[in-house]
Amino acid sequence: MLTKRIIACLDMDGGRVVKGVQFVNLRDAGDPAECAAAHARDGADEIVLLDITATSDKRNTMLDVVSRTARCLFVPFTVGGGIRELSDATAVFDAGADKIAINSAAVKDPALIAKIAARFGSQAVVVAIDARRVNNGFEVFVAGGRTPTGRDAIQWAREAAACGAGEIMLTSMDRDGTKAGFDCELTQLVADAVSIPVIASGGAGSPQHFIDVFRDGRADAALAASIFHFGLENIGQLKRELQAANVPVRWPC
């Protein structure tokens, strides 16, 4: 049976793993390569490394960190942050990523999705969407959540899928870092709108939140960062609780 994926996300700044609350107030949480290996041993189904300040600082993704992290990581490995064109994506793949996540650059130029997919396959292209609740729906924000776009998140997810995205990584900015639970309504709207997998992100704080987003949000995968880094929850323990609630997971692994 296809299982629900638990994805450990490493938000990276200046070569270190950090985690903020609602995109600010960053705290240091360790070396990316060590964190990634530890999460994989604990049972993470996938690792995501996001260079969270890459776009705003106009820096390239730290390729040496990617390469060091990828070397002994034998689960799917996604890298995002600062990928603006095909050559940026190529460099990240060459460094050892299996998938790239694009956000701002895809909104600016949706053709970039097709361009990367044509060269590396759709399975390698994750479109990350940062969405915030507004009066009549969910609005897409870019540049690390700093810039509103006026675009509807559900509509944009559909367009990204049509352009050749392989997965949607959907972050609720309202929930990010709050540990108040995933935004199941947002997740469900996007999951029902596209046929590609949807990764729910933002708000994980307890095993029940994962159960909710898999059942009510119809997410294919759920991503969390701080919950794992600060020892609040062990992935194995999380998976055992999901299993007890009849959510199919890869465990033992």
Could you list the residues that contact other proteins (CB under 8 A)?
1-5, 40, 45, 70-72, 74-76, 93-94, 96, 98, 120-124, 166-167, 195-197, 220-221, 250, 253
The angle subtended at Cα 92 by Cα 54 and Cα 85, nearest 5°, is: 65
* Closest CB to other proteins among residues 75, 105: 75
Contact 98, 69 (CB under 8 A): no
* Closest CB to other proteins among residues 98, 152: 98
Which of 210-216's residues contact partners 24+ apart within 8 Å by CB, and which partners?
Answer: 210/4, 210/6, 210/182, 210/238, 210/242, 210/247, 211/241, 211/242, 211/245, 211/247, 212/181, 212/182, 212/184, 213/181, 213/182, 213/184, 213/187, 214/4, 214/242, 214/247, 215/247, 216/184, 216/188
Residue numbers annotated as active site: 11, 130
Residue 123, Cα to own-chain centre: how many angstroms? 14
Give min distance, CB of 197 to other proteins, in A: 5
Give min distance, CB of 45 to other proteins, in A: 6
Residue 200, Cα to own-chain centre: how many angstroms? 8
CA dihedral 133, 19, 3, 216 (to 10 degrees): -30
* Closest CB to other proteins among residues 16, 250: 250
Distance separating alpha carbons of residues 234 and 214, to the nearest angstrom: 18
* Closest CB to other proteins among residues 17, 40: 40
Give min distance, CB of 236 to other proteins, in A: 13
* Closest CB to other proteins among residues 142, 224: 224
Distance separating alpha carbons of residues 71 and 36, to the nearest angstrom: 11
| Phi/psi of residue 10, nearest 5 degrees | -110, 110
